[in-house]
Amino acid sequence: MRKIIFYLLYSILFGSLYYGYFEFVVPLFGYNKFTWDPNITKIVESVLLLYFMLLFTPHGNKKPSDILLNFQLIFPIIGMLVMFGASDKPRLYTYMTVCLYLLILFIANHVQIKRVTTYRISLKAMQQLFIACAIIFIVSMFLFGAKSFLNFSFLKVYEFRTAAAENLPSIYGYLSPMMSKVVLPFILVVAVKNRQWLIAIISVLGSILMFALTSHKGPLFYPLYVLLIYYCSGKRNANYMILCGCISAILIPIIYSGYKESPSELIL
* 162-173 confidence digits (pLDDT tens): 888 888 898 998
Residues 84 and 127 placed together within one structural domain of the fold: no
pTM, full prediction: 0.79
Domain membership flag for residue 118: no
Task: Write the pLDDT tens digit of every residue in 142-190.
Answer: 999 888 888 888 878 888 888 888 888 989 989 999 999 999 999 999 9
Give every CB contact of residue 250 below 8 A, 6+ residues apart in sequence: 13, 16, 17, 20
Residues 26 and 105 placed together within one structural domain of the fold: yes
Domain membership flag for residue 6: yes
Residues 13 and 49 placed together within one structural domain of the fold: yes
Residues 101 and 145 placed together within one structural domain of the fold: no
Average pLDDT over residues 213-233: 87
**Residue 47 sits in which domain range?**
2-113+239-266
pLDDT at 70: 93
Residues 97 and 155 placed together within one structural domain of the fold: no
- Looking at the chain, the whole-number percentage of residues with pLDDT higher than 70 is 96
Domain membership flag for residue 164: yes
Residues 78 and 105 placed together within one structural domain of the fold: yes
Domain membership flag for residue 92: yes
Residues 56 and 96 placed together within one structural domain of the fold: yes
Better pLDDT: 130 or 64:
130
Q: Is the pLDDT of residue 268 over 50?
A: no
pLDDT at 203: 94
pLDDT at 235: 83
pLDDT at 138: 93
pLDDT at 45: 96
Q: What's the domain count of the chain? A: 2
Q: Is the pLDDT of residue 27 over 60?
A: yes
pLDDT at 132: 95
